[in-house]
């Protein structure tokens, strides 16, 4: 059954795909010539990557970006940061961000595999749940593809935990739990041509090409091209998916000038895309269905198109002063004809759903510029950064609805296509402009053993909402706020650092709803506040971190007929993370997060001091890799994930039980005809557990993915 193409107006443009194909064709012959001349089977194989030094397990990088502070060693960063390497993503056979971040004990995926977006909780706060992506791309908001990011063009994925308005600017949707920064691939010092073939159950087949070259007498110019085509049946009933990705990364590394340009084009088609479930009020949540059960009708589909670009320049005026400029944006279009708002109405799993035909249109752009300077004042070394930033977005959508359908989550009922007509033009519903000016200074003392970072960002938020029918401006909001940062790092020993921070997050102020007596009142941006203490140790073989934190986030509620901004959620937590080599043949990646999350201020005695929706008390991950001594090059892996009980409503009446799942894997590194080859096999959800995997902040619940087989073979040509 082919992927449905129902709207000729949603035709696939080909300029990035064509550019990738041409570059790949031009570069591949050079690779074959060089490889055939240089290949010698008795030489040891080299793992090619272009990122910062990882731990001895190869899974966590020892440095990461910290927004406007730039790239820093983890021991010198006064925040909790994890940077997952491309090697880990390859060995994990991760397809999108959902799989990458599933191994982080402070992060949980709240969407569904086979669904339409990657959404998360970080430290118990939602991220990326709306129609405007909150994932930064190479440190910049407004550039990443809007709904899914594929790992083929990613070098690493960084997770900075906690509010970060000073470091990255205000998140487009006001997320405060942390920042996910997707770092794109860059050309490597050594030429690479890698072909990867993959299979996923049921019959998903894919092929990816990764080509890297550097040119010129001093090899200052670099090109990295990544392409992907994958399609076929998924493990879910009557679901098929297709993805096409082309990414081109250009860079120049001169003695004073550094520049890069990224262009990404990607398309996704999914027949019968999954949707999260609502549960009727006060109804006990039914037992989760088999992960293969797909309640979406077979005639449903979802299609998305993304075109993203980012250009960056940095120039050293002298050895101590540099200026930088970044500019980019994304165009995203979505067509969707499928079941919407499935609602479970009985304990037996009966449900209702409405078929809808949707169009979405998202336009985003971002730019920043600034200066970095290093200088001394007496015995104090300064690293000063001054930056200005602007981000803009527009969102539009329109839909047509059909008649209600009844079904059951355990025994879905197939109905005929109701033929809901496609809507017409896509009206603009909202537009936002976020602009800011930031300054930060890191003061290094005692030969860098004490580092104090102080900073301030002035953020201006402008938001407009429009009438869908007339296009007239309905409400307008323009407010400003200051967000500070104070961070301290103390290194009593060379490989140990103690740190603390106070930092604030910023979210758009609410607009009182129409049912309130103060309807239309615009509230000032509200601040989330974090206090954190922690310690990090890089012991050569092992990288370990511990953090204690408290994050408080205000929110608004209706009090009688008046809408007020005087509610608050407070999350206190403990994080433990460990990565590295336990021995010469065993590598570990482990994490534990304990959260005491409470609604400390509400307008109802029924919700005061209750746990927030979707926030578990405990999350844990344990992963291990073992190089089997019987056969050099063969490695076995296993990973266990645990998530505690989660509530679906603020009154803590409805909940989903705790769950645990196990993933197993094997990989074999060898040489075939003198070419480095890696064979990988994975069994995800190995024991085929059926559970509710995620709870979003607005109370929807998502099915777990079923047992899934993943196979791949990577050949360095």
CA 316 to chain centre: 32
The predicted model gives 89-94 an average pLDDT of 94
Closest CA to 287 of 342, 333, 347: 347
* Cα separation, 25 vs 17, whole angstroms: 12
What six digits make up the tokens of 379?
Answer: 């015995």
Given a contact cutoff of 8 angstroms between Cβ atoms, the answer to whether 227 and 208 are in contact is yes
**Helices within 83-150 (DSSP H only):** 86-92, 97-101
Query: Which residue has 């440190």 as its token pair?
Result: 139
The DSSP code for 18 is H
- Identify the band that residue 559 occupies on the pLDDT scale cut at 50, 70 and 90: low
Separation CA 576–CA 554 (nearest Å): 27
**Percent with pLDDT over 90 in the chain:** 77
Q: What are phi and psi for residue 32, nearest 5 degrees?
A: -65, -40
- The lowest-confidence range among 272-276, 346-350, 440-444 is 272-276
Tokens of 166: 């000073």
User: What's the pLDDT band for 46 if we cut at 50, 70, 90?
Assistant: very low
Please compute the mean of the pLDDT values over residues 365-382 and round it to a whole number.
Answer: 96
3-state secondary structure string across 578-643: EEEECCCCEEEEEEEEEEEEEEEECCCCCCCCCCCCCCCCEEEEEEEEEECCCCCCEEEEEEEEEE
Angstrom CA distances, 30 to 23, 235, 671, stand at: 11, 40, 21
From residue 294, alpha-carbon distances to 132, 279, 410, 706 in Å are 27, 17, 9, 11
DSSP at 151: G
Please name every residue paired with 373 in a beta bridge, in sequence order, or none if there are none: 321, 384
> DSSP secondary-structure letter at 82?
E
Contact 696, 129 (CB under 8 A): yes
Residue 23 has pLDDT above 60, yes or no: no
Q: Which two tokens stand for residue 673?
A: 């005809």
Token output for 609: 């001091």
Answer yes or no: are the C-beta atoms of 82 and 589 closer than 8 Å: no
pLDDT at res. 648: 95
Pick from 517, 430, 436, 527: which is nearest to 476 by CA? 430
Average pLDDT score over residue span 344-355: 96
Query: Does a cis peptide bond (omega within 30 degrees of 0) precede residue 202?
Result: yes
How far CA 128 is from CA of 110, 146, 509, in Å, comes to 10, 9, 18
- Please report the beta strands in 234-287, taking only residues with DSSP state E, as ranges in sequence order: 240-253, 257-271, 278-279
For residue 643, name the pLDDT band (cuts at 50, 70, 90): very high
Per the structure block, which two tokens stand in for 354? 């409405």
Confidence of residue 7 (pLDDT cuts 50, 70, 90): very low
Cα 313 to the chain's mean position, in Å?
Answer: 25
- Residue 319 phi, psi (nearest 5): -70, -15
Report which of 557, 551, 609 is spatially closest to residue 176, judged by C-alpha positions: 551
Q: How far apart are the C-alpha atoms of 244 and 303, rounded to whole Å?
A: 12
C-alpha distances in Å from residue 282, one per residue of 226, 345, 654: 49, 10, 6
The DSSP output letter for 408 is: E
User: Cβ distance 436 to 455 under 8 Å?
Assistant: no
Task: Concatenate the DSSP letters of all residues of 293-340 into one string.
Answer: ---S-TT-EEEEEEEEEEEEEEEESSSSEEEEEEEEEEEEEEEEEEEE
What is the Cβ-side half-sphere exposure of residue 10, based on CA atoms within 13 angstroms? 25
Q: What count of Cα atoms within 13 Å lies in the side-chain half-sphere of residue 142?
A: 27
Beta bridge mates, 596: 572
Domains of the chain: 15-202+227-346+360-409+424-716 (2.40.170.20)
For the ranges 15-19, 108-112, 152-156, 527-531, the lowest mean pLDDT is seen at 15-19
- What's the token pair of residue 212? 């890297």
Of the spans 18-22, 161-165, 260-264, which averages the highest pLDDT?
A: 260-264
Among 557, 559, 555, 558, residue whose Cα is nearest residue 568 = 555
Average pLDDT, the chain: 89
Question: pLDDT of 95-145, one tens digit each?
Answer: 999 899 999 999 999 987 777 788 999 999 999 988 899 999 999 999 999
pLDDT at site 698: 85
Contacts of 577 (CB under 8 A, 6+ apart): 80, 82, 105, 544, 545, 546, 590, 591, 592
Q: How confident is the model at residue 555 (pLDDT cuts 50, 70, 90)?
A: confident
Bridge partners, residue 428, by sequence: 396
Instruction: Give the model confidence (pLDDT) of 179-198 as tens digits.
Output: 999 999 999 999 999 999 99
pLDDT of 254 over the 90 cut: yes
Task: Identify the weakest region by mean pLDDT among 78-92, 150-164, 290-304, 546-560.
Answer: 546-560
CA dist 592 and 404 (Å) reads 43
Confidence of residue 514 (pLDDT cuts 50, 70, 90): low
Is the pLDDT reported for residue 39 higher than 50?
Answer: no
Q: What's the CA gap between 201 and 232, in Å, rounded?
A: 9
Give the total residue count for the chain. Answer: 717
Which has the minimum average pLDDT: 30-39, 160-169, 396-405, 475-484? 30-39
696-706 confidence digits (pLDDT tens): 988 999 999 99
Contact 301, 339 (CB under 8 A): no
pTM of the model: 0.91
**Closest to 649 in 3D by CA, of 159, 285, 186:** 285
Residues 374/385, Cβ–Cβ less than 8 Å? no
């Amino acid at each position: 059954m082919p992927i449905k193409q129902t709207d000729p107006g949603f035709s696939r443009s080909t300029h990035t795909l064509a550019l990738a194909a041409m570059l790949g064709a031009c570069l591949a012959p050079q690779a074959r010539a060089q490889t055939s001349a240089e290949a010698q089977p008795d030489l040891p194989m080299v793992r090619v990557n272009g990122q910062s030094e990882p731990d001895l397990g190869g899974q966590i990088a020892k440095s990461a970006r910290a927004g406007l502070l730039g790239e820093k060693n983890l021991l010198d960063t006064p925040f909790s940061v994890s940077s997952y390497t491309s090697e880990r993503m390859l060995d994990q056979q991760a397809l999108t961000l959902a799989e990458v971040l599933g191994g982080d004990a402070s992060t949980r995926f709240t969407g569904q595999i086979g669904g339409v977006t990657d959404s998360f909780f970080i430290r118990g706060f939602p991220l990326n749940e709306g129609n405007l992506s909150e994932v930064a791309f190479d440190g910049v908001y407004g550039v990443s593809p809007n709904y899914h990011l594929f790992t083929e063009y990613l070098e690493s994925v960084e997770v900075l935990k906690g509010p970060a308005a000073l470091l990255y600017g205000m998140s487009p949707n006001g997320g405060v739990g942390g920042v996910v920064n997707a770092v794109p691939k860059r050309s490597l010092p050594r030429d690479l041509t890698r072909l990867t073939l993959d299979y996923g159950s049921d019959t998903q087949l894919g092929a990816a090409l990764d080509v890297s070259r550097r040119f010129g007498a001093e090899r200052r110019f670099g090109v990295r091209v990544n392409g992907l085509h994958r399609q076929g049946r998924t493990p879910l009933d009557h679901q098929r998916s297709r993805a096409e990705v082309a990414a081109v990364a250009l860079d120049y590394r001169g003695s004073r000038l550094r520049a890069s340009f990224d262009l990404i084009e990607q398309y996704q088609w999914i027949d019968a895309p999954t949707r999260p479930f609502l549960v009727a009020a006060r109804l006990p949540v039914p037992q989760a269905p088999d992960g293969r059960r797909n309640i979406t009708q077979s005639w449903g589909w979802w299609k998305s198109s993304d075109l993203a670009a980012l250009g960056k320049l940095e120039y050293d005026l002298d050895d101590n002063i540099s200026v930088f400029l970044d500019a980019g944006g994304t165009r995203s279009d979505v067509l969707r004809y499928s079941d919407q708002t499935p609602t479970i109405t009985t304990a037996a799993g009966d449900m209702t759903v409405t078929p809808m035909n949707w169009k979405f249109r998202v336009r985003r752009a971002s730019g920043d510029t600034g200066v970095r300077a290093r200088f001394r004042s007496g015995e104090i070394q300064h690293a000063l950064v001054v930056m200005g930033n602007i981000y803009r977005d527009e969102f539009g959508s329109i839909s047509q609805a059909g008649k209600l359908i009844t079904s059951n989550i355990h025994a879905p009922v197939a109905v005929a296509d109701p033929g809901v007509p496609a809507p017409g033009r896509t009206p603009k519903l909202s537009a936002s402009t976020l602009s800011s000016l930031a300054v930060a200074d890191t003061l290094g003392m005692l030969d860098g053993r004490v580092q104090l970072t102080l900073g301030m960002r002035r953020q201006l938020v402008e938001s407009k909402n429009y009438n869908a029918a007339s296009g007239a401006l309905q409400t307008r909001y323009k407010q400003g706020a200051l967000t500070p940062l104070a961070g301290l790092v103390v290194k009593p020993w060379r490989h140990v650092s103690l740190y603390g921070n106070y930092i604030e997050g910023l979210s758009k102020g609410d607009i009182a709803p129409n049912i309130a007596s103060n309807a239309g009142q615009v509230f000032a941006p509200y601040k989330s506040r974090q206090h954190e203490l922690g310690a990090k140790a890089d012991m050569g073989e092992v990288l370990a971190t511990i953090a204690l934190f408290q994050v408080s986030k205000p929110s608004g509620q209706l009090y009688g007929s008046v809408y007020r901004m005087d509610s608050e959620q407070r999350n206190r937590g403990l994080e433990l993370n460990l990565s590295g080599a336990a021995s010469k043949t065993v590598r570990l990646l482990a994490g534990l997060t304990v959260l005491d999350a409470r609604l400390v201020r509400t307008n109802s005695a029924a919700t005061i001091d209750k746990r927030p929706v979707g926030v578990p008390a405990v999350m844990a991950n344990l992963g291990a890799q073992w190089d089997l001594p019987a056969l050099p090059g063969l490695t076995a892996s296993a990973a266990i994930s645990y998530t505690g009980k989660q509530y679906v409503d603020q009154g803590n009446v409805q909940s989903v039980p705790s769950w645990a799942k196990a993933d197993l894997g094997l990989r074999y590194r060898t040489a075939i005809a003198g070419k480095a080859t890696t064979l990988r096999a994975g069994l995800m959800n190995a024991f085929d557990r059926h559970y509710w995997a995620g709870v979003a902040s607005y109370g929807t619940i998502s099915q777990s993915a079923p047992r899934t087989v993943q196979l791949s073979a990577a050949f360095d040509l």
